[in-house]
A and B are shown apart, each in its own frame.
Chain A
Amino acid sequence: MTLRKVLVIGSGPIVIGQAAEFDYAGTQACKALREEGVTSILVNSNPATIMTDEGIADVVYVEPLTVPVVERVIARERPDGLLPTLGGQTGLNLAVALADAGVLEKYGVRLLGTPLETIKKAEDRELFKQLLIQLGEPVPASRTCYSVEEARAFRAEHDLPLVIRPGYTLGGTGGGIATTDEEFEQIVRRGLEFSPIHQVLVEQSVAGWKELEYEVMRDAADTCITICNMENIDPMGVHTGDSIVVAPSQTLSDREHQMLRSAAIRIIRALGIEGGCNIQFALDPASMQYFVIEVNPRVSRSSALASKATGYPIARVAAKIAVGRRLDEITNAVTGKTTAAFEPTLDYCVVKIPRFPFDKFPSGDRTLGTQMKATGEVMAIERSFPAALQKAVRSLEIGGRSLLWEDKLWGEDEHALADAVRKPSDRRLWALMAALRHDWSVDRVHELSKVDRWFLNQMAAIIRMERRLLNEPLTPQLMWRAKRLGFSDAQIATLTDLALPDRVRRQRQEWGIRPVYKVVDTCAAEFEAQTPYFYSTYEEENEAPPLPGPKAAVIGSGPIRIGQGIEFDYCSVHSAWALQRAGWRAIMVNSNPETVSTDFDTSSRLYFEPLDDEGVRDVLENEGVDETPAVCQFGGQTAINLAGPIEAGGGRIIGSGVEAIDLAEDRERFDDFLNNLGIPRPAGGAVTTVEQALVVADRIGYPVLVRPSYVLGGRAMEIVHDASELIRYVTNAVELSSKRPILIDKYLEGKEVEVDAVCDGQDVVIPGVMEHIERAGVHSGDSTAIYPGVSLAEWEVDTIVEYTVKIGRALGVRGLMNVQYVLYDEGVYVLEVNPRSSRTVPFLSKVTGVPMVQLATNVMLGTTLREQGYTTGLCKRQRLVAVKAPVFSMAKLVGVDTALGPEMKSTGEVMGINGRLVPALAKALMAAHAMLPRRGRLLVSIADRDKPEVISLIKRLALLGYEFWATPGTAALISSLEVGGRRLAAQRASKVGGDGGAPTVLDVIHGHLVDGVVNTVTGGRKVLQDGFEIRRAAVERGLPCFTSLDTLRALVESLEGGESGWDVRPLPEYLEVDGRAAAVRR
């Protein structure tokens, strides 16, 4: 049967473990299906994706990824096939659920790529083990245990260490590796207790072995190839997603490599996969013994990395295979001549380093283990390992921290250093370097860390160069050698007496020391490559002569982190496309391997480089500074921060000037600016001392909002209620951001509204206004946002539009601008202006139909908005309501409080869209897994100041048939309401066992006695330990936890709305209005 129509399931919101790589995979796959003449139907709940854009899939549904919704899509579209392997674990799980619910059979939809049986086998550890044993592949011995006795019996037959993994806990909480019998008993007990099904998997530990991954492909003709192998520098015990990874493997002999490669091929054959698959192995560092650890029968984060590391587009090829193509019928997009049936070979070294969110969550547990914690990653390509490693570190964008960084403690306390070397954490790389710098032998560092000596020896080479730079006069030869080892100008400046990076740069250019650029071509130069995919190195031959004709460089957004997510990649990609549409060549610079922007066919030329001064300026100089203006508006704070240095270095920025950027970020100048325009903002000021802080706070009155200047994502921002809290904040937080002042604002607890606008210096087009459900004080990135502003009064909208137009014109914005407002006490106040693209641009573009990035890019190229058919004002409203809801990854981040506040915590977003508000809300909540059942039970624990407000909500919930568990104070309140339903008072967690054995809050949560949790905190940072534990417990159990009554209200409304009234439609069907008909308002 030939396939005409195929349903593709996306991966939904960005969460830890499932990030932008699936947008990359899905986008490639949809394009590939189109090439094959197959109609693609796409469902994804994530609006911030390229795959859900016009022109990628044939029909797009931005709808919740649930069985009922997808069933409705299937009923309407009647696809012949379903491609479940591109949407990560979400896609696979949903496909299984659809199959199990009989939906696929009912509508005659064939599952493509990976057989259902295989998906199930790969997911169920027990079945998987049996299959591998059948194949004769070695697996670590393990047993699923339901009691301490069972675990002991297993222990009796096996040597320690053993890994204990509790079943069905989301954060892997309660698990661990036991090295003594005491530990074993203790961890097993704890694990059983934490597991809701009282189950632990006890497994032979191979912590410390080499961990390797193989990316394998197979077609229906049974041709099997391996695309890439990757070696984890952090040995077994650290999740591959959290490990520093190198490709190809470095410490394996051909014999070892072929042994694992052959095993990988046997496994993919046995699983009958038609497409791609990732296989993880553990290899004994001292014998040929290996174990199969895991198989992912789908494209994955690793396959995205492998694609970028080799140039081989795995997802594209997998999609073609799934619809029946054979590998030798697919052309190799890189050479344009050879076919996809070959194995890439690399002539460079690739290093991936994960990006962790601990800079945002200082209280989070930084130790790394078998659960992933990284939000994103960077990749670097170079011709030696030290150079690739150092380039990757530069790409991380962690405050200019090079490998020279050391924790102060390490120098003072040898035990602290030994600990940091032994215990995997996000800082271990620096600890390894520090130990070597302090003259610890490679053997000693190896014994402690189990990191292979090869990597340590390579790091030692970096340290030897550090010493030479410190001690020897800088000569051209020494500079050349240092650059070949990946030393940045900034590092050389620190280590030599040139002191300033710019002086190093000038010196090396005088000496003619410049990077050259080489091509990633899948074949180590054996064939001529068509791909414009480059990386820098210090060598002789440059393969990247400047591109001819008009061109511009789009500065990307680097690794995905909280506060700077996939949205900025979305914007970068659209900007590149807009440039090309306008007849310009788009040059992309980025360091993130997961993204669409670093797909080599997104731009005219891709430079895979760190987004720092040096990396970007080198690229611009290679292309010709005068001929290559830079576009810095779309890559989030990363790109905007580079605007200054680029200009200072003689480069040219197109779009809003550096002046506008500085003005918007300089507190005092911006205050003056708004004053002159007659636009109010919350009172406040910038301070540098405690005394000043107290004076300002006294003047404006508490509560106040405090933060260090120059941050994205609200880092270290707090609402402070009194002088003592303020003193604590200022004394603790000043250190956080060195000499920069602290900003203090009057906290206005009003409704937050956000707009994005495109300006050309004259006209200001506002595609839409978004209002937040949660009041100001919850970071805009964590708020549920509604388009259009359904509850806003006309005068409020008018004022917002008026202010936005004024600001855009006065700032001289050329391109995008984002403004956040708070409506408070009959006033409209500006919270913040960002003269750049924002997190909401993809969402707003999608629901208004206004191609904002394209407009903005054209403006930069000199085409006015009028010429593009737009005029000043708010675009005509679409007759739809769209709700953007945040999604969190808290289960993975042990020790982090989930309560919403001015610091951003979410990792992703989903969208619910409908003709009316309530169903749109319901869809958004469903898509975010924050929906509650029609009736059920809630655990409620409310701070005193919120109690009056919660009453009506409790009543409405009771009417719906909800029952409540509550902490004593809240329980008393609920009793007094005399609403129907049972009311049970649970103990505070802190009073375990008190009061006649009534269940504790934690019992209630762990015992699955409730469907959700409502818990509000009183303002301020003083974490109520009880509340914290309640929230964490809810997260561990996967229960929706509401910390804002505004969100709860929205939930109640959607519950009251019931399931009727919402429909499932392709996105374009909701968009009826041509956005261009802008109603000029002033």
Chain B
Amino acid sequence: MRAILVLEDGSHFRGDSIGAPIDAEAEIVFNTCMTGYQEIATDPSYRGQMVCMTYPLIGNYGVSDHYAESRRPWISAFVVRESIDDYSNWRAEGGLSAWLKHWGVPGLGGVDTRALTRRLRARGTMRAVLAHYEGTPDVVALVDRARNITPLSEKDLISEASIAERYRIPAGGPARRIVVVDCGIKQNILRSLGRRGADLIVVPHLATAGDVLALNPDGIVLSNGPGDPAALPGVARTVGELIESGAPILGICLGHQLIGIAARATTSRLRFGHHGGNHPVKDLADGHVHITSQNHEFQVDGDSLPRDSGFVVSQINLNDGSVEGLRHLTRPVFSVQYHPEGAPGPQDNQYVFDQFLELVGRE
């Protein structure tokens, strides 16, 4: 079946439908990872977005439960150059397009994804409609539809991506208790903590500071998640209270942005976000450069961070100088904008979890 992607600026790309035969309306971003399409699709932070993969061959090694970063795919649609159905990998349990269909996620194949990416780079992230058609599509009407899509910032994306009930992932033996605030968490964050022997209690994003502190945490992790951090003043307030409590805290991605807001910094939208596994981040303390995995639209504005907030910028992105990490000067609180758990992407930054657990201290 033929389908078309129409952007709000009027540009459009035709291709073949590769997933569920339903239309999608959402923002579109591009991701530059060459592997890890399933991890990307199942990253809750992508809620409300279609993803254009810049690597042209997607689906090569199939899909497997092993690679799921959450219980289901969250992307609104996949846009690819070649959707590969003849996958090959010992772990594969099925093909990508069948999997997308199963989960009701549409997709578009055969697209000049490089042209699309260049467009997004030039114009910034845009809203788009993916529509199926027979004969000739009504592009004008579709452009109109794209322009009427509710912007990301006005959507409540986090509620669905988070959880309703708290749950526990017990450690094997005596362990430090880490409370994880789930704003739409990726499994590999939990795996990375669990592997280090932490006792994990995962709570919904609406949990109050009181709820969290009542669990007697030795440390708190604020997870990644979808959407605009500025649209979550309540959660930011909670984060502020948690910081005040003196508990060791690690913020990741959205968690990092919320810490920024709690520190009275502003946040803003990047032109076309950071989505990829190759972003260089410089640690300002030791000058080391780390290759990081990233997925975010919003950033903490470094200049807006009040001097008296107690926080400093600890890491920056080498490509555009944007803030990649915050650290409190006196309290055991720090955060990273990137994904130390990778998945997809480098495992080089697993050390972040070690640093956090060091702050938490030993049993």
Q: Which of A's residues lie within 8 Å of B, judged by CB?
A: 221-225, 248-255, 257-258, 261-262, 265, 285-287, 326-328, 337-339, 341-349, 383-385, 452-454, 457-458, 460-461, 518, 523-528, 539-541, 543
Chain B residue nearest in CB terms to A452: B88
Q: How far is the CA of A210 from the CA of B12 in the complex (A)?
A: 40
Q: Does chain A have a CB within 8 A of B276?
A: yes
Cβ–Cβ contact B89 & A539, under 8 A = no
Residues of A within 8 A of B32 (CB): 345, 347, 523-524, 526
Closest CB of chain B to A479's CB: distance in Å?
16
Cβ–Cβ contact B112 & A539, under 8 A = yes
Q: How far is the CA of A326 from the CA of B283 in the complex (A)?
A: 14
Cβ–Cβ contact B86 & A384, under 8 A = no
Residues of B within 8 A of A523 (CB): 32, 278
Kindly count the residue-residue contacts between A and B in the assembled complex, taking CB atoms under 8 Å apart: 162
Residues of A within 8 A of B35 (CB): 248-249, 252-254, 257
Cβ–Cβ contact A265 & B121, under 8 A = no
Q: How far is the CA of A458 from the CA of B64 in the complex (A)?
A: 21
Closest CB of chain A to B116's CB: distance in Å?
9
CB contact under 8 A between A328 and B118, given known A262-B347, A383-B56, A454-B88: no
Q: Does chain A have a CB within 8 A of B114?
A: yes
Cβ–Cβ contact A342 & B56, under 8 A = no
Question: Which of A252, A341, A348, A541 has the largest number of chain B CB atoms within 10 A?
Answer: A341
Q: How far is the CA of A261 from the CA of B344 in the complex (A)?
A: 13
CB contact under 8 A between A525 and B114, given known A342-B280, A346-B34, A454-B86: yes
Closest CB of chain A to B331's CB: distance in Å?
29
Identify A223's interface contact among B39, B87, B289, CB under 8 A: B289
Chain A residue nearest in CB terms to B90: A286
Cβ–Cβ contact A254 & B343, under 8 A = yes
Interchain Cβ contacts under 8 Å between A and B, 19 examples: A224-B348, A253-B61, A257-B35, A328-B280, A338-B280, A341-B318, A342-B291, A344-B278, A345-B55, A346-B55, A383-B56, A384-B81, A454-B84, A454-B86, A457-B86, A524-B117, A526-B30, A526-B32, A540-B112
Cβ–Cβ contact A525 & B54, under 8 A = yes
Q: Does chain A have a CB within 8 A of B330?
A: no
Q: How far is the CA of A524 from the CA of B346 in the complex (A)?
A: 18
Q: Does chain A have a CB within 8 A of B106?
A: no
Chain A residue nearest in CB terms to B64: A253
Question: Which of A223, A453, A525, A539 has the largest number of chain B CB atoms within 10 A?
Answer: A525
Closest CB of chain A to B8's CB: distance in Å?
19
Q: Does chain A have a CB within 8 A of B82?
A: yes
Cβ–Cβ contact A526 & B86, under 8 A = no
Interface positions of B from 56 to 71, Cβ below 8 Å from A = 56-57, 60-61, 64, 66-67
Cβ–Cβ contact B56 & A347, under 8 A = yes
Residues of A within 8 A of B82 (CB): 383-384
Cβ–Cβ contact B33 & A254, under 8 A = yes
Cβ–Cβ contact A254 & B86, under 8 A = no
Q: Does chain A have a CB within 8 A of B282?
A: yes
Cβ–Cβ contact A254 & B117, under 8 A = no
Chain A residue nearest in CB terms to B62: A253
Q: Does chain A have a CB within 8 A of B287?
A: yes
CB contact under 8 A between A285 and B90, given known A262-B347, A339-B280, A346-B34: yes
Closest CB of chain A to B348's CB: distance in Å?
7
Residues of B within 8 A of A460 (CB): 86
Q: How far is the CA of A1044 from the CA of B289 in the complex (A)?
A: 59
Q: How far is the CA of A252 from the CA of B33 in the complex (A)?
A: 13
Known: A261-B347, A457-B88, A539-B112. 10 other contacts (CB 8 A): A221-B287, A249-B35, A251-B88, A262-B346, A326-B287, A339-B280, A342-B280, A383-B82, A384-B57, A454-B88
Q: How far is the CA of A461 from the CA of B348 in the complex (A)?
A: 38
Cβ–Cβ contact A341 & B89, under 8 A = no
Closest CB of chain B to A17's CB: distance in Å?
29
Chain A residue nearest in CB terms to B92: A253
Interface 1/0s, chain B 105-142, versus A by CB < 8 A?
Answer: 00000001111011001000000000000000000000
CB contact under 8 A between A345 and B60, given known A223-B289, A525-B117, A541-B112: no
Closest CB of chain B to A804's CB: distance in Å?
52
Closest CB of chain B to A382's CB: distance in Å?
9
Nearest first, the 6 A-B pairs at minimum CB distance are A254-B36, A457-B86, A541-B115, A454-B88, A524-B54, A343-B278
Closest CB of chain A to B274's CB: distance in Å?
9
Chain A residue nearest in CB terms to B34: A248
Residues of B within 8 A of A349 (CB): 56-57
Interface 1/0s, chain B 324-363, versus A by CB < 8 A?
Answer: 0000000000000000001111111000000000000000
Cβ–Cβ contact A338 & B287, under 8 A = no
Cβ–Cβ contact A345 & B114, under 8 A = no
Cβ–Cβ contact B56 & A327, under 8 A = no
Chain A residue nearest in CB terms to B56: A383
Q: Does chain A have a CB within 8 A of B279?
A: yes
Cβ–Cβ contact A222 & B318, under 8 A = no
Chain A residue nearest in CB terms to B282: A328
Closest CB of chain A to B279's CB: distance in Å?
7
Residues of A within 8 A of B57 (CB): 250, 349, 384-385
Q: How far is the CA of A225 from the CA of B30 in the complex (A)?
A: 23
Cβ–Cβ contact B289 & A258, under 8 A = no
Identify B289's interface contact among A328, A525, A528, CB under 8 A: A328
Cβ–Cβ contact A384 & B345, under 8 A = no
Residues of A within 8 A of B54 (CB): 345, 347, 524-526
Cβ–Cβ contact A342 & B278, under 8 A = yes
Residues of B within 8 A of A527 (CB): 121, 319
Q: Does chain A have a CB within 8 A of B44?
A: no
Interface 1/0s, chain B 9-47, versus A by CB < 8 A?
Answer: 000010000000000000000101111100100000000
Residues of A within 8 A of B279 (CB): 342
Residues of B within 8 A of A348 (CB): 56
Closest CB of chain B to A460's CB: distance in Å?
8
Interface positions of B from 251 to 290, Cβ below 8 Å from A = 276-280, 282, 287-290
Identify A345's interface contact among B66, B278, B348, CB under 8 A: B278
Q: How far is the CA of A337 from the CA of B91 in the complex (A)?
A: 40
Cβ–Cβ contact B34 & A345, under 8 A = yes
Closest CB of chain B to A221's CB: distance in Å?
6
Residues of B within 8 A of A338 (CB): 280, 318-319
Closest CB of chain B to A814's CB: distance in Å?
41
Q: How far is the CA of A286 from the CA of B87 in the complex (A)?
A: 14
Cβ–Cβ contact A255 & B291, under 8 A = no
Closest CB of chain B to A853's CB: distance in Å?
36
Closest CB of chain B to A881's CB: distance in Å?
53
Residues of B within 8 A of A385 (CB): 57
Chain B residue nearest in CB terms to A247: B34
Cβ–Cβ contact A343 & B291, under 8 A = yes
Residues of A within 8 A of B113 (CB): 347
Cβ–Cβ contact B114 & A251, under 8 A = no
Interface positions of B from 301 to 338, Cβ below 8 Å from A = 318-319
Q: How far is the CA of A528 from the CA of B34 in the complex (A)?
A: 19
Residues of B within 8 A of A255 (CB): 66-67
Closest CB of chain B to A228's CB: distance in Å?
10
Closest CB of chain A to B354's CB: distance in Å?
15
Closest CB of chain A to B352's CB: distance in Å?
15
Chain A residue nearest in CB terms to B117: A525
Closest CB of chain A to B358's CB: distance in Å?
20
Identify B318's interface contact among A261, A328, A457, CB under 8 A: A328
Chain B residue nearest in CB terms to A223: B289
Closest CB of chain A to B324's CB: distance in Å?
13
Cβ–Cβ contact B115 & A453, under 8 A = no
Q: How far is the CA of A341 from the CA of B54 in the complex (A)?
A: 21
Cβ–Cβ contact A254 & B121, under 8 A = no
Question: Which of B36, B113, B114, B278 has the largest number of chain A CB atoms within 10 A?
Answer: B114
Q: How far is the CA of A342 from the CA of B279 in the complex (A)?
A: 6
Q: How far is the CA of A524 from the CA of B55 in the complex (A)?
A: 8
Cβ–Cβ contact B346 & A261, under 8 A = yes
Cβ–Cβ contact B67 & A254, under 8 A = yes
Residues of B within 8 A of A261 (CB): 346-347
CB contact under 8 A between A258 and B318, given known A327-B289, A524-B32, A540-B115: no
Residues of A within 8 A of B343 (CB): 254
